[in-house]
Amino acid sequence: MNKELRVIISGGGTGGHIFPAVSIANAVKALRPDAQILFVGALGRMEMQRVPAAGYEIKGLPICGFDRKNLLKNIKVLYKIWKSQRMAEKIIKEFRPQVAVGVGGYASGPTLNKAASMGIPCLIQEQNSYAGVTNKLLAKKAEKICVAYDGMERFFPADKIIKTGNPVRQSLLETTLSHDEAIRTFGLDPHKKTVLLVGGSLGARTINESVMQHLDIVRNSGVQFIWQTGKYYHAQIMEYFQKEEELPTNLIVTDFISDMGAAYKAADLVISRAGASSISEFCLIGKPVILVPSPNVAEDHQTKNAMALVNVDAALYVADQEAPQQLLDLAVNTVNDPEKLESLHKHILQLALPDSAEIIAKEVIRLAENGD
């Protein structure tokens, strides 16, 4: 056994950055149980809770993004960047990593910049088909760049790119429930087609509005719906059903689904935003999906993620502004079309890149050992 392995993993801000980061850490630990892993995140962002919940230590930096609307506020942002660089240097000197991994998000900028300037080999993992600003800036300093889509030479040096796919939550792949068992955990009928609507942990307003504006379609569809509203919207939606209109019997409403493996297994069709991690999950489990990209993301990267699938007949697509008018009808028609479901299943499965976390973990370990 080589000497103790020490790895820093930095980034976060969204589940789409955090899930891959934790998956990489778990894969490193599986290959090298002796590994010491330290996360570096942004104070006040969700990684500060999610990473400790996954069993790893995390240090927080006061980093945040630039305010494009109020330029005067950026004086404070520049100070936070300077302070984060200083703190990152101190963390690296104390932890003494042999390799640094960046998954995108604010914190990975100062952490990997400092690591590279101190001669520590760096690897970055880009989840999206359109590279994020932080990763584009870090690319020159990285030894290896792990990507999930073809054509990433537009953003990164070709000789550094490895197409690994995105690591996903292992619990999704390890569920032992059958389709019928999964359906029954939601109190639904295993003989009816089921549509799952998800908008992330906080929810997606457009997807929610698409349901609320067409409860008549839901009621008369002959289809079952599992609807994750997100925590942000749930109370308001439930208040409507208590005061204004009876909840359709074929509609299960929940703010959050803890067992997404069961939810995906129960669903014949999923409606989702087009985050990179979600798309990787759909590919690995071969799940037919209608993608409604969020317009509120940098460089409209979710639309680019979605079109990478749509262009090879591996998913359906509805633009955010068109969803309230089109989404429910399309979902009901699609879930009742066995040939279309089978075609979507077959094509999306062909895009799956399994064992992503392990492939990245092996590269991380190799860089650490070569750097010694």
Do residues 104 and 132 lie in contact, with contact meaning Cβ atoms separated by under 8 Å? yes
Structure tokens at 196: 């799952």
pLDDT digits (tens, 9 = 90+) for 32-84: 999 999 999 999 988 999 999 999 999 999 988 777 677 777 888 899 999 99
pLDDT digits (tens, 9 = 90+) for 194-209: 999 998 655 588 999 9
Above pLDDT 70, what percent of the chain? 97
Range with lowest mean pLDDT among 2-11, 90-99, 112-121, 324-333: 2-11
Q: How confident is the model at residue 231 (pLDDT cuts 50, 70, 90)?
A: confident
Give the contacts of 73 (CB within 8 A, at least 6 positions apart). Answer: 67
Residue 2 has pLDDT above 60, yes or no: no
Which pTM does this prediction carry?
A: 0.85
Give the residue-averaged pLDDT of 118-136: 92
Range with lowest mean pLDDT among 228-232, 267-271, 286-290, 304-308: 228-232
Give the C-alpha separation, 199 to 23, whole Å: 22
pLDDT on residue 10: 96
Average model confidence (pLDDT) across the chain: 92
Residue 133 has pLDDT above 70, yes or no: yes
Give the C-alpha separation, 173 to 170, whole Å: 5
Q: Name the CA radius of gyration of the chain, rounded.
A: 21
Give the C-alpha separation, 143 to 145, whole Å: 7
Tell me how far CA of residue 261 lies from CA of 24, 178, 201, 281, 285, in angstroms: 19, 11, 15, 10, 10
Backbone angles phi, psi at 57, to 5 degrees: -80, 145
Do residues 13 and 64 lie in contact, with contact meaning Cβ atoms separated by under 8 Å? no
Structure tokens at 65: 């993004």
pLDDT on residue 201: 59
pLDDT digits (tens, 9 = 90+) for 168-198: 877 777 788 999 999 999 999 999 999 999 9
